[in-house]
Amino acid sequence: MLMLEERAELVKYGKKLVEAGLTSGTGGNLSIYNRETNLVAVTPSGVDYFDTKLEDIVITDIDGKVVEGDKKPTSELSFHLGLYKSRADVNAVVHTHSVYATTIACMGLELPAVHYMVAFSGNKVPLAPYATFGTQELADSVAENIGDYNAVLLANHGLVTVSGNLPTAFSAAEEIEFVARIYCQAKSFGQPNILPDDEMAKVVEKFKWYGQKK
């Protein structure tokens, strides 16, 4: 079985996606790219995360050809592959339908630095214009609008986060949802205070050394 460790990680984090309230039902998707083998492990389309087994994970090449697995890969495979091709630092992609981030995306807004934890993305979370799910148009929009950020809102759709590994990409999705909730709640009181770019530059730099680094 190809990419056994990656399969196990996707099964584990698929459950965490639901448990953390970042999606519901079979919404959202996850993938991991192994640059040494040039293979991608991705969650299957429309399979309950709590029913997903190791053998349900689909293995494709970087162009989307199925190499191993009898399930259909997520309908959003194209934007996962596009991100891996356009960003050499990205080896994991998380796509969620988390409520507050999606609410902001449905308002056609970016997520500004209302809280310093937006640094999981950068100094903000940019917005990709709406495109139909599962299309090359959406894949191109995601790759173009994420730029050098580690997260992007999809208008009227959801959130995408990226990183060099799945745990960090998942953490980014959790923290961006937290910041999105703060922003929605702060907006209900008035105009929230937004941290300036120079302060966020300091935070982003400090985040490079945050946690237990090997």
Catalytic residues: 76
Supply φ then ψ for residue 162, to 5 degrees. -135, 155
User: How open is the CA angle 67-163-209, to the nearest 5 degrees?
Assistant: 145
* 8 Å CB contact between 40 and 31: yes
Full DSSP string of 11-74 = HHHHHHHHHTTS--TT--EEEEEETTTTEEEEPBTT--TTT--GGGSEEEETTS-EEE-SSPBP
**H or E element, residue 30:** strand 29-34
Whole-angstrom Cα distance, residue 100 to residue 209? 28
Q: What are 170's two structure tokens?
A: 């998942």
Q: What are 12's two structure tokens?
A: 């584990």
* 8 Å CB contact between 159 and 187: no
Q: For residue 82, count CB atoms less than 10 angstroms from its CB and return exposed for 0-12, middle for 13-18, buried for 19 or more.
A: buried
Residue 184 Cα distances to 5, 111, 210, angstroms: 38, 10, 27
